[in-house]
Amino acid sequence: MSKKVKRSSRSSATRPGEVITSVSGGQTSPSMSVSARSSEKAFNPDYSDVIKDLKRIGTLAGTFFAIMIILSFFLK
């Protein structure tokens, strides 16, 4: 069995990638490190395949619905 490791809880004031700095002399430094900012911009999901599949599903559903309406006039 693997060893169980107790994780320390993070305080609500700090987030991953956040740098804690002290304010002195009215100057403030950035609250997030450069690597954290670049990782936020790096996440760019591509949903083109999902959109194509949803369009295909909508087209098929509309076609089958139209066929059912047309058949309802002929099969009375």
Residue 62 lies in a domain: yes
Residue 7 lies in a domain: no
Residue 9 lies in a domain: no
Residue 25 lies in a domain: no
Residue 21 lies in a domain: no
In angstroms, the Cα distances linking 13 to 6, 21, 69 are 21, 12, 60
Domain count, the chain: 1
Residue 56 lies in a domain: yes
pLDDT in tens, 4-33: 777 776 665 555 565 555 555 555 555 666
Question: Containing domain of residue 67, as a range?
Answer: 48-75
Residue 40 lies in a domain: no
pLDDT in tens, 27-76: 555 566 666 666 567 888 999 999 999 999 999 999 999 999 999 999 98
Residue 16 lies in a domain: no
Mapping DSSP onto H, E and C, the string for 10-50 reads: CCCCCCCCECCCCCECCECCCCECHHHHHHHHHCCCCCHHH
